[in-house]
Amino acid sequence: MSEFKYDIAVVGLGYVGLPLAIEAANNGLKVAGYDINEVVVDNLNNSVSHVEDISYQALNDALTKELLFTSDSKVLGRSEYIVISVPTPLTDYQPDLSYVESASKSIGEYLKKGQVVILESTTYPGTTLEIVQPILENVSNLKAGEDFLLGYSPERIDPGNKEWTFKNTPKIVSGINKKSLEKISKFYKSIIDEVVEVSGTREAEMVKLVENTYRQVNIAMVNELAILSNMLDIDIWEVVEAAKTKPFGFQSFRPGPGVGGHCIPIDPKYLSFKTRQIGQPVQFVELAQEINNSMPNYVVARISELMNKNEILLKNSKILILGVAYKKDIGDTRESPAIDIVETLLEKSVDLSFYDPYVDELVFNKNSISKEENLKNLSSYDLILIHTPHSEFHEINFESVTSLIFDSTGSFEISNAERI
C-alpha cells in the first residue's frame, strides 16, 4: 500500500493544470488539485470552471471520483507525483519565473523521499536544472535523482481543439536521470495514449519552443508575402490554395491580423532570452516576431485605405469588429491582435463596437468598448472588420450587407469584401 494519500498533486489549476487534474481523476487516480487562489478552488469544488474547455458536466463528473481541489499546501507532502503547471508570463519582455520559483519553494517545504516532481510550465531550456532543482534541494535538504525524482514535460494544450485533446495528443517526457525518466514516463502512460521520451530536460524544454517558434516564423513569412502580394495586386489566398496542391515540401500557413494566445507570441521570446544570454541572438526568430507584431497596424492601414477609396473618413466612423478572441470558437483574448487593433482605432477617434459570441466584454488598459447585441443592423456600420472566423459568422449573409467589409482572416467567400 502506498505511503501517499494522493497519486498526484497538480500545482496551478489554469488552462494546463485543470485538464490534467480531471484527466488523472477520470483514469482512476487519486488527485489533489492545489491552487493558492481560494476563489478558484471554491468555484471548482462547486463545479464552476474558469477554463473554457472544461464544461460544468465534465467538472461535475470528475468531482464524483477521487478528486479534491484545495488551497491547503499540506497535500504537496501527501502526493507521490507533483506536477507544476503555474503561469510563466513575460514581465518587461523578460521571462517571469516567479510563479515557478514560488511553487518550487512550497513543494520543497513538504518534499519527502520517493516523491516525483514534474514541471509542465512553458519556459526556456535549463529551467528545470538551473531553477527548480536547486530550490527543491536547498529547501528540502534532499538530493534530486536520488531522494526524489525530477523531470520536465511540456504542455501541449490547444484550447478549443476537439480533435486533439489532452488524452490523445502525444506527450513529451524527460527526467534528470534514467530513474526519473522511467518513473515519469510510467505516470503519463497511465493517463495519455502516447508518450514520447527524450534524453534530457533541456531537450524537452526546447521541444515546446521549437514547435511554436516554427509556427511564428511561418506565419510571419506568409504575412509578409500577403503585404507584398497586395502591393503587387496579387491574390495571396489564391496563391496559397494553389501552392497547397504540391503533395510534398510545402505546408500551408494563412496570413492574418497577427498571432495571439499564450504560446505563439510568447514562447519564441523565451528562446530569444536564452540565446541572448549566451551571446547568440536568434535574428530570424526576432524578425518574425516583429512582422507579426506589426500586423494589427497593417490591418488598420488597410481599413483606412479602403474607407478613403469609398470617401469615408476614418475619424468618427462607425466600425464593428466581428470576433475579438485570438482563435475561432473560443473566448480567450490573451495576446489577441484585436486588442492592438482596437487601441489604434480608438486613438483615431473611431466609434467602435464588437461582437463575439464567446466574449462578453473587452476591457484593456482601463478602457472598454461596447458589445453589439443585434447583428441584424450590420448595414448601419461604415465598416465591418472580421477579426476571428467563428463558426457562427458563416451563417451571416454578408452579401446583403451594404457596409464596407474587411476580412482579416480570409476565411469567408464574400464578393463585396476585401481580404488581408
Interval 271-282: pLDDT, tens: 888 888 898 888
Distances (CA, A) of 251 to 218, 244, 385: 9, 7, 28
- Per the DSSP assignment, residues forming a β-bridge with 90 are 95
- 248 Cβ neighbours under 8 A, 6+ residues apart: none
Alpha helix segments (H runs only) across 310-351: 337-347
3-class state of residue 341 by DSSP: helix
pLDDT digits (tens, 9 = 90+) for 171-228: 999 999 999 999 999 999 999 999 999 999 999 999 999 999 999 999 999 999 999 9
> With 0-12 CB in 10 A as exposed, 13-18 as middle and 19+ as buried, what is 166?
buried
| Cα gap 31→23, rounded to integer Å | 10
- Residue segments in the chain with a per-residue pLDDT below the cut of 70: 1-2
**The pLDDT value given to residue 1:** 41
51, 263, 352, 359: the catalytic one is 263
Residue 417 dihedral angles phi and psi, to the nearest 5°: -115, 150
Please tell me the number of Cα atoms within 13 Å of 2 on its side-chain side.
14
Contacts 24+ apart (CB under 8 A), 212-217: 212/263, 212/264, 212/267, 212/268, 213/267, 213/268, 213/271, 213/285, 213/288, 215/253, 215/259, 215/264, 216/259, 216/264, 216/265, 216/267, 216/268, 216/285, 216/288, 216/289, 216/292, 217/284, 217/285, 217/288
263 counts as catalytic: yes
- At 363 the pLDDT is 80
Residue 118's SS3 state is: strand
Angle at 197 between CA 191 and CA 199, to 5 degrees: 150
Tell how strand 383-386 and strand 367-371 pair up. Answer: unpaired
CA–CA gap between residue 153 and residue 149 (Å, rounded): 13
* CA distances (Å), origin 215, targets 264, 290, 346: 7, 14, 30
Instruction: Please give the C-alpha separations between residue 58 and each of 28, 37, 42, 64, in angstroms, as whole numbers.
Output: 15, 21, 17, 10
Domains in the chain, please, with CATH?
6-198 (3.40.50.720), 227-419 (3.40.50.720)
